[in-house]
């Protein structure tokens, strides 16, 4: 697809994201993360930081970061994604609502694991 449509074509980007999810599901999260990082980079450059496809790529990469144990990076990216979704899609959009609660839970877990004192 890349050869025919080019790396920046929306269908190519969607295929890359699907490949990343397939790799993750088949036990190769490192390869999935590399591809999803590329997808986020390209969608940000081509469509802009606040485009819904970019926000989805951001959410997907954050999930991979969290799965890999990078809580700080994953939570930071989820926060950025949630802010973008609120701005672009609105507070009550299903994608915004679907992200708010998991982010709250990750933040609560992160706060619980912080040493007190």
pLDDT above 90 as % of the chain? 82
DSSP 116: P
Model pTM?
0.87
Per the model's pLDDT, the better-predicted residue between 115 and 47 turns out to be 47
How many structural domains are present in the chain?
1
Q: What is the pLDDT of residues 19-52, one digit of tens each?
A: 999 999 999 999 999 999 999 999 999 999 999 9
Looking at residues 67-78, what average pLDDT do you find?
Answer: 95
**Mean pLDDT over the full length of the chain:** 91
Residue 117 lies in a domain: no
Helix or strand run (H / E) with residue 32:
helix 29-47
* 15-19, 52-56, 109-113: least confident range: 109-113
Name the residue range of residue 88's domain.
2-112
Residue 71 lies in a domain: yes
Angle between helices 71-88 and 52-67 (to 10 degrees): 160
> CATH number of the domain that 82 lies in?
1.25.40.10
**Cα separation, 17 vs 91, whole angstroms:** 25
Output the pLDDT for position 89: 95
Looking at residues 64-80, what average pLDDT do you find?
Answer: 95
Angle at 54 between CA 8 and CA 56, to 5 degrees: 120
Q: Could you report how far apart the first and last alpha carbons of the chain are, in Å? A: 54
């Amino acid at each position: 697809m890349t050869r025919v449509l080019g790396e920046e074509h929306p269908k190519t980007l969607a295929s890359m994201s699907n490949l990343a999810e397939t790799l993750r599901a088949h036990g190769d999260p490192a390869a999935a993360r590399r591809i999803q990082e590329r997808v986020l980079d390209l969608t940000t450059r081509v469509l802009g930081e606040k485009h819904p496809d970019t926000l989805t790529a951001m959410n997907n990469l954050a999930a991979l970061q969290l799965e890999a144990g990078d809580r700080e990076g994953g939570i930071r990216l989820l926060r950025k994604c949630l802010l973008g979704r609120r701005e672009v899609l609105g507070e009550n959009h299903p994608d915004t609502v679907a992200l708010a609660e998991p982010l709250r839970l990750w933040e609560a877990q992160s706060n619980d694991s912080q040493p007190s004192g």
